[in-house]
Amino acid sequence: MNIQQSHSPEGLTINLRRPTFDLEPILARDWHGDSASKTAFFNAMSMLFPLGEKFFIDSVRAFRNDIEDQKLLEEITAFQGQEAIHRLKHQEYNELLCQVRGYDLAEFEKPARKRLAWVKENLSARRQLAGTVANEHITAIMADDMLRRGDSLIGADPIIADLWRWHGVEETEHKAVAFDVYMAVCGSTKLLRRAMLMSTLFFFKDTFRNMRIMLRHEGKLWNIREWTSSLNFLFGKPGILRRLFPAYLKFFRKDFHPWQDDNRYLVKEWEERFSDTTSP
């Protein structure tokens, strides 16, 4: 008898896509509306993804043998496939960015490498999985906002905008996989909440640190206009981080599940409008 451990909607497909993007002529400039700060925000997040996504894959894989639901096993395989491709594409993005801008990739990765090494040495597999669940919620609500509203990429170069939309679509498709694995093998909401608080701290600490390094390198660290524009973009109007707060808080509900917000229509809309630009 098959035990139901996956609680994703019936008919959900987690697709493996292998898009290609010609980024070299774009990453050399401020590709988001000629704004150094907006460009740096997205570039700074990209620096987090290769190491983070490897950690996510490993933390879910650690419990694969504990899963009995064939549907969830298939979703785990698809999750790992999508995250592996994300890791590859963002590694290419980051290496190229450092090459054309003169950044030091090791400088960006050093804190995360050190922290993840400590986590793997000192935290249990369940606590590591809880961290993955928390980070998956952060990326899922950011993806939802980006796809739903669209204004976070207004003025961005179309090719890089396509890359971020593609990533957001796949974060949406697999947003509940790590959560369902966690609930099947652990289920402690207390541990999840603690993991979310720590994950939020380090996600944004690392992102803003990376932004600071980039703007300093470009000679714009103390440019008041850039920081005013950035703060408005992130917390004012449109406020792409400020407006995430209600969705973020849902994670702390006792009955929370990522698919309580069934936003599969965003994937369908993207497939109809943009998938031809990122076809396998």
Of the pLDDT bands very low, low, confident and very high (cuts 50, 70, 90), residue 276 is: low
Q: Is the pLDDT of residue 31 over 70?
A: yes
The one-letter code for the residue type at 6 is: S
Of the pLDDT bands very low, low, confident and very high (cuts 50, 70, 90), residue 3 is: confident
CATH, residue 77: 1.10.620
Work out the average pLDDT over 57-68.
97
Q: Is the pLDDT of residue 186 over 60?
A: yes
In a domain, 273, yes or no: no
The DSSP secondary structure of the chain, one letter per residue, reads: -------SPTT------------HHHHTS-TBTT-HHHHHHHHHHHTTHHHHHHHHHHHHHTTGGG---HHHHHHHHHHHHHHHHHHHHHHHHHHHHHHHHT--HHHHHHHHHHHHHHHHHHS-HHHHHHHHHHHHHHHHHHHHHHHHH-GGGTTB-HHHHHHHHHHHHHHHHTTTHHHHHHHHHT--HHHHHHHHHHHHHHHHHHHHHHHHHHHHHTT-TT-HHHHHHHHHHHHSSS-TTGGGHHHHHHTTSTT--GGGS--HHHHHHHHHHTGGGG--
Give me the pLDDT at residue 273, please. Answer: 86
In a domain, 224, yes or no: yes
In a domain, 92, yes or no: yes
In a domain, 103, yes or no: yes
Round the average pLDDT of the chain to a whole number and report it: 95
Work out the average pLDDT over 20-36.
95
**Contact (Cβ atoms closer than 8 angstroms) between residue 238 and residue 33:** no
Q: Is the pLDDT of residue 277 over 60?
A: no
In a domain, 4, yes or no: no
User: pLDDT tens for residues 123-148?
Assistant: 999 999 999 999 999 999 999 999 99
Long-range (24+ apart) CB contacts under 8 A made by 152-155 are 152/238, 152/240, 153/32, 154/33, 155/32, 155/33, 155/34, 155/35, 155/38
What predicted TM-score, i.e. pTM, was given to this entire model? 0.94
Work out the average pLDDT over 202-221.
97
In a domain, 203, yes or no: yes
Structural domain count of the chain: 1
Q: How many Å apart are CA 163 and CA 10, to the nearest integer?
A: 27
Q: What percent of the chain is modeled with pLDDT above 90?
A: 95
Q: How many Å apart are CA 168 and CA 144, to the nearest integer?
A: 7
Q: How many Å apart are CA 50 and CA 48, to the nearest integer?
A: 6
In a domain, 133, yes or no: yes
Give me the pLDDT at residue 280, please. Answer: 45
Q: Is the pLDDT of residue 252 over 70?
A: yes
In a domain, 229, yes or no: yes
Of the pLDDT bands very low, low, confident and very high (cuts 50, 70, 90), residue 5 is: very high
Q: Domain limits at 91? A: 26-111+118-253
User: pLDDT tens for residues 71-125?
Assistant: 999 999 999 999 999 999 999 999 999 999 999 999 999 999 999 999 999 999 9
Q: How many Å apart are CA 4 and CA 184, to the nearest integer?
A: 9
